[in-house]
Amino acid sequence: MKYFTLEKTKENIAVITIDCPDGKVNKVSSGFLDEVAAIIDDIKNDKSVAGMVITSAKEDNFVVGADIDEVKGMQTAEEAVVYISKGHAILNELEKMKIPVIACIHGNCLGGGLELALVCNYRMAVDSPQTVLGFPEVQLGLLPAAGGTQRLPALIGLTTALPMMLTARTLRARQAKRAGLIDELIPPYGLKQTGIKKALELAKSGLPARKRKRSFVNFLLESNPLGRKIVFAQARKMITRQTYGCYPAPYAIIDAVECGYKKGREAGLKKEIELFGKLVVSPQSKSLTNLFLSMSDLKKNPQKHLARHVGKLAVVGTGLMGQGIAAVSTSVCDTILMKDVNLDAAAAGMKEIWKSLEKRTKAGAMLHFDRDVQYNKLVACDDYALFVNTDLVIEAVFEELEIKKRVLADVEAATGEWTIFASNTSAIPIKNIAAGCKRPQNVIGMHYFSPVPRMPLLEIITTEQTADWVTATALDLGIAQGKTCIVVKDGPGFYTTRILAPLLNETILLLEEGAIPNELDRAMRRFGYPVGPATLIDEVGIDVGAHVYEQLGPMFSKRGITASQGLKKLLAQGYKGKKNKKGIYNYDLKKKKGQKMPDENVYDILGGNPRRKFDEELIQQRISLMMINEALICLEEGIISCPRDGDVGAVFGLGFPPFQGGPFRYIDNTGAAKVLVTMESLEKQYGQRFRPARILGDFVKSGKKIYSGK
């Protein structure tokens, strides 16, 4: 067999070990399913087998889910239905086995892996931070389709299971035990032997009775049709409120679960299969799947052979950004210097990292021992004396060119020829920071996004002088920190800040023309952005936005694009956004009908035009196409090397609608010709800033798509 080994112990326990070839993880595929079916037949025909144990040969995973490449290749709903129906039939047979079936879980048990575990009679898991269970399918625009929507609620209850599936929430081993998903926690050693022992025990004594603990409220909600109706209605309202109906998968999950409760498990399983077929071929799932595969590609360093190990890291500036950069490095580097103007400031940064480590420890995400080891890698300092032999220095100081140049000069004076200097700047060109330095080949940009531990993207910026080994090392560190990294060329705003600036500028222009902030936010949320642009300006900070325009203004002026002075005017009046409760919205006023109230003084500062209603589609076109067109120009100029990087950067750095797949997927899905016509129409009406990128016209003339070339 290719995917499994099967052995029978002297006690007549069949032990199935999953070990998919050609990879570090076990994935469910057609070949995987065929072998499972053959094993089940063999065991059913062997009357001497008293029990079955399923385990994994991989170091850190049980089964991580379906083979995404195989799912992506399905072109029709019928093809998807045939595939998933096979999985249903096999798992149903496994569930009907007359002997006890034990799942021995360690590491990731996700998607199809959890559905495999759910049909087992007994689930034991290693009590370790690496053991994680969940259904991530909704992130790919899919639903748990091998019985998960029926078996999970039946096992742990509707009010626990539904949020897991709708939000892709994962449970660690102890959480899963408390929820009733896991029957027994065991130490990390002797997993297979413990499983064999449990199979023998259950073969003699029979399966233990399960009693799920439920609160009185949960009992009322789950045990009668009226209560369940309330749960399903509230779930749909929540999804609509959060996503404005842009994603079909969460609704499909609710429909499948509800069908099972109303019409029984068999009907629920059929509904699950039907909905899976529709979702697989949906444009939303295709876009989300492409994004997932792009992220997977970017987890590999094509120049790893050039990378140097970063054992000693220094972070200059221990504010929010510096803390975050140090925090994501504690599991990667051997020593992390935290340098600030004084030791109290550095110690304050270390204290925040301790809080984060302690929080993760209490949540079961790490062991106490690992918490202490990682924290003890941090060293506070207030000068550069300890910087000798530092491999990489990341500055996270104020966004002012002269300060950054001074830090670089100090670092070069304290370090040697192999020390890399990385600037965490969002807009200042790296070549300007490196101007006049001793080792420009060692200077690079590493633009992290706030909050660093949560934001997945890292934008690495190279100048014409940056050495290849420096780029490779920065990329290697970023990947080790758990980031999805894109490497872009230097220039004002690089890629992400550069394409964000026109979007924010168009938002201010619309406000100057009389638009209502709430309506702008609502229109763009319906387009798919997780945060509306008016809210985004307040959250990013009006002061930050004004600074970005100062950096990028000359570049846009050369193209005949005049930036609004709105942010500068607001800043002059003391408006900084949410941080000082003075922004486009008034944060001292109570919300009305769940909506923030605009600060009407802003209207006067931005020109005093009376408020008026704009067509929603026009708002969406003006704001989104400013970002999309700038992304095209970045591709044309070589700021990004390929559309994939542009899409990943826009989605994971700036919140471009994931179901749209990114600016370039959006053009492919909408049609380049249609986008071009819209841009030309907007240019006639609003001026040169809407002039389409030359490359867009090239795609229309060639008739090719950006990705496929067809």
- Is the bond into 451 cis (omega within 30 degrees of 0)? yes
pLDDT tens digits for range 340-383: 999 999 999 999 999 999 999 998 899 999 999 999 999 999 99
Tell me if 376 is assigned to some domain. Answer: yes
- What are the structure tokens assigned to 468, written together? 């290849």
Q: Do both 67 and 209 map to the same domain?
A: yes
What is the model's pLDDT at position 96?
Answer: 92
Q: How many CB atoms lie within 10 A of CB 318?
A: 27
CATH number of 515's domain = 1.10.1040.50
The residues of the chain scoring below 50 in pLDDT are 710
Q: Which of 492, 521, 536 is the last residue of a domain?
A: 492
Q: Could you tell me if 548 and 600 lie in one domain?
A: yes
Report the CATH number that the domain containing residue 89 is assigned in CATH: 3.90.226.10
Structural domain that includes position 474: 304-492
Active site residue 617: no
Whole-angstrom Cα distance, residue 634 to residue 624? 16
Same domain as 122, residue 14: yes
Sequence-distant (6+) residues with CB within 8 A of 261 are 153, 158, 225, 228, 268
Question: Which three-class secondary structure state does DSSP give residue 330?
Answer: coil
Give the chain's end-to-end CA distance (angstroms, integer). Answer: 40
- Same domain for 443 and 588? no
Helix (H, G, I), strand (E, B) or coil at 428: coil
The pLDDT score that the predictor gives to residue 188 is 86
Say if CB 277 and CB 80 are below 8 A apart.
Answer: yes
Please tell me which residue in 137, 272, 459, 506 is annotated as part of the active site: 459
**Residue at which a domain ends, from 471, 492, 513:** 492
Taken in order 88, 91, 97, 100, the sign of the CA dihedral is negative
- Using CA atoms, how far residue 125 sits from 107, 133, 154, 182, 650, in Å, is 9, 10, 20, 7, 38
Structure tokens at 305: 């052979």
In the beta sheet, which residues pair with residue 299?
none
Report the distance separating Cα 542 and Cα 537, nearest Å: 6
Q: Verify that 210 and 160 share a domain, yes or no.
A: yes
How far does CA 536 lie from the centroid of its chain? 19
Nearest to 246 by CA among 594, 666, 628, 678: 666
The number of folded domains in the chain is 3
Of 359, 372, 313, which is closest to residue 339 (Cα–Cα)? 313
* Cα–Cα distance, 515 to 613 (Å, whole number): 6
Q: How far apart are CA 229 and CA 164, in angstroms?
A: 18
How far is 660 from 662, CA to CA, in rounded Å? 6
Bridge partner residues of 394 (DSSP): 315, 422
- CB of 80 closer than 8 Å to CB of 73: no
**Domain at 308, CATH number:** 3.40.50.720
- Residue 403 is assigned to a structural domain of this protein: yes
User: Is residue 613 domain-resident?
Assistant: yes
Pair 429, 479 in one domain: yes
- Reported as type and span, the H/E element at residue 234 is helix 225-243
Where a domain ends, among 492, 516, 548? 492
Residue 660 included in any domain: no
CB count within 10 Å of CB 125 equals 29
Whether residues 100 and 220 fall in one domain:
yes
Q: What's the count of helices (H) and strands (E) in the chain, helices before strands?
A: 30, 18
What 3-state DSSP class applies to 393? Answer: strand
CA distance 208 to 43: 23
Asked if residue 504 and residue 478 are part of one domain, the reply reads no
536 within some domain: yes
For residue 666, is it within any domain? no
- pLDDT tens by residue, 76-120: 999 999 999 999 999 999 999 999 999 999 999 999 999 999 999
- Classify 447 as helix, strand or coil: strand
If asked whether residues 314 and 357 sit together in one domain, one would say yes
pLDDT of residue 549: 86
**Coarse DSSP helix, strand, coil percentages of the chain, rounded to the nearest 5 percent:** 55, 15, 35
Question: Is residue 486 domain-resident?
Answer: yes
Decide if 440 contacts 434 (C-beta within 8 A).
yes
Q: Are residues 517 and 467 located together in one domain of the fold?
A: no
Q: What integer pLDDT is reported at residue 710 of this predicted model? A: 44
Provide the sign of the torsion angle of the four alpha carbons 302, 305, 311, 316, taken in this order: negative
- Domain identity same for 218 and 138: yes
Element (H, E) at 134: strand 132-134
Are 487 and 544 part of one and the same domain? no
Cα–Cα distance for residue pair 278/282, rounded to 1 Å: 6
Q: Give buried/exposed letters for 214-230 (b at 16+ CB in 10 A, else e).
A: beeebeebbeeeebbee
The answer to whether position 661 is within a domain reads no
